[in-house]
Amino acid sequence: MHKKECFYLGKIARKFSFKGEVLVFLDTDEPEMYQNLESVFVELNKTLVPFFIEKSALHKDKFLRVRFEDVDTEADADAIMNCEVYLPLSMLPKLEGNKFYYHEIIDFDVEDLRLGNIGKMIRVNDSNAQPLFEILKDEVEILVPMIDAFIVKIDRANKKVILDTPVGLVDLYLDQ
């Protein structure tokens, strides 16, 4: 399994017991969806390795208490501490309408109601307080705040994101 075929679920945050149990921080708004997993992929040395789960239970909102097969000691748990945890993209629930996962709109054409085609979606930058659409038009990178009022439609069938941006926002990039 390759990382591009998976989504980030969380990180192994700390040990829970002397018998190898760990707490996985779940980076999700719906942690209860992930309490009965059979397995996950743990990133070890830049490789995704399958880990099978013997038992798991939610612990304090966003943590999943996990007992992995073959992780029986503190030393075993130390070896996977702070490792990222992934699941296959196929396990994500399908979204409809204008709700979307960031990865699913990559390479979609982006249209503005006023300006027409303004480029291709290259990524969603969520490293700041306000996520940004990063759009590439020829060799110009256009940044558009990901604001619900700007999003007219996510057209999955035609691989398009249709926006209604305020006058001047995108024009600033295109008039150079």
Cα Rg for the chain, rounded, in angstroms?
20
pLDDT value for 4:
86
Q: Write down the residue that tokens 């942690």 correspond to.
A: 31
Domains of the chain as residue ranges with CATH: 3-91 (2.40.30.60), 102-174 (2.30.30.240)
Q: Which comes out higher in pLDDT, residue 135 or 18?
A: 135
Q: Write down the residue that tokens 């629930």 correspond to.
A: 93
Average pLDDT for 23-45: 93
Average pLDDT for 75-103: 92
**Residue 97 C-alpha from the chain's centroid:** 18
80/42 Cα distance (integer angstroms): 8
What pLDDT digit, counting tens, does each position of 139-158 carry? Answer: 999 999 999 999 999 999 99
Contact between 121 and 135 (Cβ < 8 Å): yes
Percent of the chain whose predicted confidence (pLDDT) is above 90: 77
DSSP string, 14-53: EE-STTS-EEEEE-SS-GGGGTT-SEEEEEETTEEEEEEE
What confidence category does residue 59 fall into, taking pLDDT thresholds of 50, 70 and 90?
Answer: very high
Sheet of 109-112: strands edge to edge?
140-145, 132-137, 116-125, 109-112, 160-163, 151-155
What confidence category does residue 94 fall into, taking pLDDT thresholds of 50, 70 and 90?
Answer: confident
174 three-class SS = helix
71/117 Cα distance (integer angstroms): 52
pLDDT at 176 over 70: no
pLDDT at 103 over 90: no
Residues in the chain: 176
Average pLDDT for 1-28: 92
- Find residue 44's DSSP bridge partners: 47
pTM for this structure? 0.71
pLDDT value for 92:
86
